[in-house]
Structures are given as structure tokens and as C-alpha cells.
């Protein structure tokens, strides 16, 4: 029996409302005239966004960003990199901002295997997060 989107009538105690079909009841069979959909690999269906910042000593901030210039250039040329930037913050001299956008997790994992990041001074604080985005489009 299909579930009901209903409320209970407070006078009679009976459920009222329309019937809806639940997802398992809406199965498509071969030959229904619907296009087939290949099985999607979860590593290839979402854009990966890494965003955040790290704190370094103010004297080292500009040097840190300059030292990352080669890494950013190589990453931007790497297959699957949509955008990558490591920049000094315009307000806080201790803060270095990082944003990475990758076509999918496979591209990010391939990049990490060959990135050869520099061994620089340890940041005093790191606040980075990964986001998986399944859709997007123009802002305006």
C-alpha cells in the first residue's frame, strides 16, 4: 500500500489526504522507453572545493605566498584543476587564503600524488575544509 501524505481529521479520527507513490514503487523497467543511465562513479560526479586559510608569521606571509607560486602554476596547468589560488589576505597580515576547485576527486588525488609541495615553516593555525558540490551555475 502506498504511503499517504495526510493529516488526521480531528473530528472523525480518520486520515485524509492524497495518495503518493513511494520511490520503490516507481521502478522503471527495460523497454519503458526511458533512456538508460550508466552507473556513476562517486569519485567523478562532484566538483571538489577546498577552501580556507592558514596563519603564518607576518614577516613570512609574503614569502610563503611567493614560495607557493611554482606550486600554483603547476596545479593550474594540471588536468582537472579548475582554479587554485594561494594569496595573502588584504586585511590580516598573518593570514594566507587558499581556494582550490577540482573537476572531481580523482583529479585532486592524482595532483596530490605528484604535487611535491614545499616544506615551509609550520603555520600557527590551519583552517581548511573540503566541500563536494554536485551542481552549480552562473550567479547572475
Q: Give the per-residue pLDDT at 26.
A: 40
pLDDT > 70 in the chain, percent: 66
Report, as an integer, the average pLDDT of 37-42.
51
Which CATH number does the domain housing residue 66 bear? 3.30.70.100
In degrees and rounded to multiples of 5, residue 97 shows phi and psi of -95, 145
Residue 103 located in a structural domain: yes
Is 12 contained in some domain?
no
Report how many domains make up the chain.
1
Q: What is the pLDDT of residue 79?
A: 95
Domain assignment present for 70: yes
Residues in the chain: 140
CA 24/CA 14 separation, integer angstroms: 26
Contact 128, 75 (CB under 8 A): no
- Global pTM value: 0.65
Q: Is residue 37 part of a domain?
A: no
C-alpha cell of residue 52: 580556507
Owning domain of residue 52? 47-133
What is the pLDDT confidence band of residue 51, given thresholds at 50, 70 and 90? very high
Check whether 46 has a pLDDT greater than 60: yes
Euclidean distance between CA atoms 68 and 75, whole angstroms: 10
Amino acid at each position: 500500500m502506498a504511503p499517504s501524505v495526510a493529516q488526521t481529521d480531528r473530528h472523525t479520527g480518520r486520515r485524509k489526504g492524497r495518495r503518493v507513490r513511494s520511490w520503490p514503487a516507481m521502478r522503471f523497467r527495460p523497454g519503458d522507453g526511458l533512456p538508460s543511465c550508466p552507473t556513476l562513479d562517486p569519485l567523478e560526479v562532484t566538483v571538489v572545493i577546498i577552501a580556507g586559510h592558514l596563519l603564518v608569521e607576518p614577516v613570512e606571509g609574503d614569502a610563503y605566498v611567493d614560495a607557493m607560486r611554482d606550486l600554483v602554476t603547476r596545479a593550474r596547468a594540471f588536468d582537472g584543476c579548475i582554479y587554485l589560488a594561494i594569496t595573502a589576505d588584504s586585511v590580516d597580515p598573518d593570514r594566507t587564503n587558499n581556494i582550490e576547485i577540482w573537476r572531481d576527486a580523482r583529479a585532486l588525488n592524482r595532483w596530490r600524488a605528484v604535487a611535491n609541495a614545499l616544506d615551509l615553516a609550520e603555520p600557527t593555525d590551519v583552517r581548511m575544509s573540503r566541500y563536494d558540490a554536485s551542481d552549480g551555475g552562473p550567479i547572475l
